[in-house]
Chain A
Amino acid sequence: MAEQIALEVTRFSPGRDKTPSVQSFDVPLRKEWVVLDALNYVKDKVDGSLSFRWSCRMGVCGSCGMMVNGEPKLTCATFLTDYAPGPVRVEPLKNFPVMRDLIVEITDFLGKLSKVKPWIIRKKEKPVSEGEYLQTPEQLDTFKQFSMCINCLLCYAACPVYGLDPLFSGPAALALAQRYNMDSRDEGESERMDILSQHDGIWGCTFVGECTQVCPKHVDPAGAIQQYKLTATQEWVKSFIMPRGAK
């Protein structure tokens, strides 16, 4: 028989269980298998009721984020062999309410994301006949890193500020706001400023920096937030020096 590894999975059924419990499954330890493969093995061969989110299995969709041995990971990019001889502990993403087994409720994030207006805002749209809004590679380069976010929410699971204060906008929403602020085609910075410079916005961040460490797409949300703190402070000073013309 092939080598096995123990997969300890959090189980929770709303309505039936009061608190989550742990169930252990023995799964084949294959060199090419990621944690998500092991979960799918359990679902297909052992217990079809095991619930978890996944889609692309190639680190693009951002659906399969879970805690693996206490760290937020994309399970499609986390190899079982790295945890041999095991056990591998798989839990739902921290800091979110658990709906069932490994599935968390993310409506809170979706609300926060749309609040920061992560889209290109123009004071006046130009007609389609005038063509696209052009951008040089240098201009693209200023925000490209922040645009790689796949909303997997590993950064929220790593952020103790979000865990302690659910009102905090959180790393991904703030980084995406900064992504549009830095876009040369965008004119919405002052509109976003009012939302971002609130206590629950950038100033909620205490720069723990773990969001950046766990980000599978190297977005660096911590950097984005600190950079925006600098911009907001400059704007604040400017509003003192030039009370009328700051915006």
Chain B
Amino acid sequence: MATYTEYPPKGYRVRMSTYWWLARWPYLKFILREISSVFVAWFVIETLLQINALIDGPLAYAEFQDFFRNPLVIVLNIISLFFVIFHAVTWFNLAPKAMAVRMGGKRVPNLMISGPNYAAWMVVSAVLAWLLLRG
């Protein structure tokens, strides 16, 4: 009788290309999602620098604002904003996968998990916008 051996013949192994993530859109989307964390970190650093400049006084803050007006920084920040939004949206969309909440014997629909996340995001953004833009 044929049995499975612990060390079967090796067979032909195809090595995965270094550029595997370019082969299919879902893989590329995954890599972009992972890379988005770099831009999230960049925004965190920027905020810390801003607070630091604020502590150092008006002169330091004016210098920081100059840095912010640099076209290169503006472009970088626009790209970062895109990635941070992408990061948030993919995170909220994946949340229902990880959270299998059951109520009344049935699994709560995905929208019931991601919905409140989006709502909280909107509320926090609105409060911040009000604080910053009220003049």
Contacts and interface: CB of A to CB of B under 8 A. Distances in A.
Contacts of B34: 206
B124 interface: no
Nearest to B106: A141
Contacts of B102: 142
A14 B9 contact: yes
A208 B26 contact: yes
Contact of B11 (A19, A70, A105, A223): A105
Given A14-B12, A209-B26, A223 B100 contact: yes
Most central of A12, A94, A212, A226 by chain B CB within 10 Å: A226
A97 B26 contact: no
B10 A226 contact: no
A166 to B, nearest CB: 9
Contacts, number: 76
B105 A227 contact: no
B58 to A, nearest CB: 45
B11 A163 contact: no
A160 B27 contact: yes
A226 B97 contact: yes
A138 B12 CA distance: 46
B35 interface: no
Interface in A204-247: 206-210, 212-213, 220, 222-223, 226-227, 229-230
A210 B4 contact: no
A98 interface: yes
Contacts of A210: 26-27, 30
A107 B20 CA distance: 25
Nearest to A104: B11
A164 interface: yes
A84 interface: no
Q: Looking at chain A, what size class is its interface with the partner chain?
A: 35 or more
Given A14-B12, A107-B8, A213-B26, A163 B98 contact: no
B41 to A, nearest CB: 18
A160 B21 contact: yes
Given A138-B105, A226-B98, A227-B100, A209 B13 contact: no
Interface in A86-101: 94-99
Contacts of A70: 23-24
B59 interface: no
A140 B108 CA distance: 16
Interface in B1-24: 4-5, 8-14, 16, 20-21, 23-24
A212 B30 CA distance: 14
A67 to B, nearest CB: 11
A107 B4 contact: yes
Contacts of B21: 160
B99 interface: yes
8 contacts: A70-B24, A96-B11, A105-B8, A110-B4, A142-B100, A160-B21, A207-B97, A227-B99
Given A163-B16, A206-B34, 17 more contacts: A12-B12, A19-B12, A70-B23, A70-B24, A97-B12, A104-B11, A105-B11, A110-B4, A141-B105, A142-B100, A142-B102, A160-B21, A160-B27, A163-B20, A164-B16, A209-B97, A227-B99
